[in-house]
Structure 1
Amino acid sequence: QGSRFVRALMLSSQDVLAKHPVNAARVARGDIPATMIWLFWGSGTPPVMPAFKLHHGLNAVMTSAVDLLNGLAQMAQIDVLDIPGVTDGLDNDYAAQAAGALKSLGDHDLVVVHVEAPDEAGHSGSVEDKVEAIQRIDRDVIGQILSRGNEELRVLIMPDHPTPVIKRTHTAEPVPFLLWGNGFTGNGAHRLTEAEAGGTGLFIEPGHEIIHNLIS
């Protein structure tokens, strides 16, 4: 009952804010209007992020169906691809997303390909959907990129966080990763799984430092 009240309050705020004089003044100034109250996240101002190119010396672009990630990309002055058919569910056009990423390498140095479907399957608690999403990423995204890339291509494959089906929420365990391409050699692992990765003894802390392994 409480959640229905909160949701109704959030939705009804759209009509109020659409007619509010403060928003009318913001639009007249060319500013973005406030369109809805959101009670689950705290308010605040956007953090200042250094430009990715300034920090790493590379022109980067991202493809994702998640507004949050696209917003983070824009804050870091990373271009955002608009690829028809890219969604946050199992109906995502995986092949089109990979093809768009490969095409963007013509005028970018680095492409971030984010696929949301496994995370959504984890939240819904569906083992079948999660397996299908991972298989399609393997075949239609990773397979296409590796088969069509050139000898200079370097690839980092990893989830951004775990979303175990049994818990249906994000958890903080380390995630497996795979680096492939020019300059990388094998370490004895044969499968990209949590158990196989844990057995290698390779652990990168803090996690964001892995970008240096990819681009250095």
Structure 2
Amino acid sequence: MKYVVILGDGMADYPIEEIGGKTPLDYARTPNMDRLAASGRIGLVKTVPDGFSPGSDVANLSVMGFDPRRYYTGRSPLEAIGMGVSLNDSDITFRCNLVTLSDEADYRRKTMVDYCADEITTAEAAELIDEVNRRLGNEDFRFYAGVSYRHLMVWNNGPHELEMTPPHDISGRTIGNYLPRGEGSDILLELMMESYGFLGEHPVNRARMERGLKPANSLWFWGQGRKPVLPPFSEKFGLTGAIISAVDLTKGIGKCAGLEAVNVPGATGNIRTNFRGKALAALEQLEAGKDFVYIHIEAPDEAGHRGELETKIKAIEEIDEKVVGEVWRGLEKFESYRIMVLCDHFTPLSLRTHVADPVPFAIYQKGWPERNNHEIGFNEQSAVSTGLIIEEGYRLMDHFIKGEF
């Protein structure tokens, strides 16, 4: 049996008047996902336990079969593992965004103009993080360049009990009420303020502004945590596997669980990603002997955070055609397979951040008869209508692997 999970990050949404009261998932043309839902099993899964922030870290940990209440130690250490950064037990890691802030003289009065600095390129960001390391790095603070705006800071013997806010949660707001709080927060704020003092004048940012793009003019810290430990996926489920993702967070969860992280050329984490390349890479892993592949696609989530309706619809349609369709056709060569499509969390365009509502999932196994139930498609309302809900999200993987529906 071959197993494939296809996760569209943040696909789920609320009804939007502009598209006739439908959600983007319902409005988008998704014949493959709809066929899968109509012929398989569809329902809801609660991926975020009560009391947890509805981030991709917690949600994907659940989907992969690990109870966040037992295994979650923070977002950034998972990203560190995904980046290949070696961590000591005394290290505290922080997500380090390159953001665009407004130009008020008082740092606290600045506005979060763009949490991703116009989706700065990885190459440009690497130059800026090099400069950050040169000016701010020392034996206590180490900075590591990631993908686009997503980077990492490691604080040796740093504090852990801090109150911090993801920058994508405060787009367009004055940042003063959302700056770090708690032990060591004054040091983090000083680093952020120092970064604003030199990043805006860096040649990379001057060139970006000349091209009409937003400058990545400040660091923003959040998502702190300690080195995580997960049991091997192979021991938990008895399967060899791989993970395919453009973002270090989900790569890190997979690598912590012993899955092979597969890099796909052109995978970016946004709408310009190599959708088909991810599907083909998954099939190659299965053909090479892997039992299980987890494909993560970030693009719908990015569109949700940016409030871009057309981009979110396009991302969903690209996933359906170039990932779900391609994978499903490729799986037919195998004697038996099971495929699951789902979201990790809602990223409503109206809110531009995550919410913890249960999300739709659909599972299909080779040989199940096509029911051609045209009233069932892969969307939020269809999932609700079945009455099936898995309250403990980490148990979904057990159902999927064991075929218990």
Is structure 2 residue 139 aligned with structure 1 residue 14? no
In structure 2, the residue corresponding to 1:154 is in which secondary structure? strand
- TM-superposition CA deviations, 1:7-28 (whole Å, max 9, x none): 9xx967522454x35689xxxx
- TM-superposition CA deviations, 1:46-82 (whole Å, max 9, x none): 1211111111111110000111111111111111001
**Structure 1 residues 126 and 23: CA distance shift in structure 2, 3 A:** closer
Supply the AA of the counterpart residue of 1:140. K
Aligned counterpart, 2:255:
74
Is structure 2 residue 275 aligned with structure 1 residue 94? yes
Match 2:303 to one of 103, 121, 124: 121
Is structure 2 residue 330 aligned with structure 1 residue 148? yes
Supply the AA of the counterpart residue of 1:193. N
Q: Distance in 2 between matches of 1:4 and 1:109?
A: 50
- What 5-or-longer segments of structure 1 have no aligned partner? 25-32
Confirm or deny: 8 A CA contact 1:59 1:110 kept in the other structure. yes
* Offset of residue 4 of structure 1: 6.1
**Structure 1 residues 109 and 21: CA distance shift in structure 2, 3 A:** same
Aligned counterpart, 2:388:
202
Identical pairs, percent: 33
Q: Distance in 1 between matches of 2:337 and 2:299?
A: 25
**Structure 1 residues 192 and 47: CA distance shift in structure 2, 3 A:** same
In structure 2, the residue corresponding to 1:95 is in which secondary structure? helix
Confirm or deny: 8 A CA contact 2:140 2:155 kept in the other structure. no
Q: Distance in 2 between matches of 1:185 and 1:208?
A: 28
Supply the AA of the counterpart residue of 2:300. P
**Alignment TM-score, normalising by the size of structure 1:** 0.83
Confirm or deny: 8 A CA contact 2:243 2:260 kept in the other structure. yes
In structure 2, the residue corresponding to 1:176 is in which secondary structure? strand
**Structure 1 residues 185 and 56: CA distance shift in structure 2, 3 A:** farther
**Alignment TM-score, normalising by the size of structure 2:** 0.46
Supply the AA of the counterpart residue of 2:254. A
Larger RCO, structures 1/2 (Cα 8 Å, 6+ apart): 2
- What 5-or-longer segments of structure 2 have no aligned partner? 1-106, 116-127, 143-152, 157-187, 189-219
Is structure 2 residue 320 aligned with structure 1 residue 138? yes
Supply the AA of the counterpart residue of 1:96. G
Aligned counterpart, 2:285:
104
Is structure 2 residue 343 aligned with structure 1 residue 159? yes
Going by fraction, where is helix more abundant, 1 or 2?
1
Q: Distance in 1 between matches of 2:346 and 2:370?
A: 24
**Structure 1 residues 22 and 5: CA distance shift in structure 2, 3 A:** farther
Supply the AA of the counterpart residue of 1:69. T
Q: After superposing the two structures, state which structure 1 stretch, 122-131 or 184-193, moved more.
A: 184-193
**Structure 1 residues 213 and 21: CA distance shift in structure 2, 3 A:** closer
* Offset of residue 41 of structure 1: 2.6
Match 1:2 to one of 108, 123, 146: 108
- TM-superposition CA deviations, 1:70-128 (whole Å, max 9, x none): 11111111110011011101111111110011111122110000000000001001110
Q: Distance in 1 between matches of 2:257 and 2:380?
A: 30
Supply the AA of the counterpart residue of 1:59. T
Q: After superposing the two structures, state which structure 1 stretch, 125-134 or 182-191, moved more.
A: 182-191
